[in-house]
Amino acid sequence: MAEREHVDRPETPVPPAGEPVHLPGPSYQPVLVAVGVSLGLSGIIISPIITVIGVILALVAIIRWMRDTRDEMSELPLEH
């Protein structure tokens, strides 16, 4: 059997992390962008109307997604 190595553990606890991690909230915009792109590409073969609907859906979802991201970024502290 192999011998176990001795590991020195610090006497003092590890200090907390320097800053909290910011994660964006849940959003449906990525799904709408994917649906819009899929409709736009499928519409190339099926119908130009479906292409237009897909492109408009994708553009609207991208614009809303960018606006929501900017709003979230503006709420973060300016310390960094």
Could you report the per-residue pLDDT of 23-46, keeping only the tens digit for each? Answer: 778 889 999 999 999 999 999 999
Full-model pTM: 0.68
CA of 19: how far to CAs of 11, 50, 77, in Å?
24, 47, 11
pLDDT grade for 80, boundaries at 50, 70 and 90? low
Beta-carbon contacts of residue 39 (< 8 Å; ≥ 6 apart): 50, 51, 53, 54, 57
Dist. CA 34–CA 38, nearest whole Å: 6
For residues 50 and 12, the answer to whether their CB atoms sit within 8 Å is: no
> Over 80: is that where the pLDDT of 54 sits?
yes
pLDDT at site 19: 65
Q: Exposed (0-12), middle (13-18) or buried (19+): which is 32, by Cβ within 10 Å? A: middle
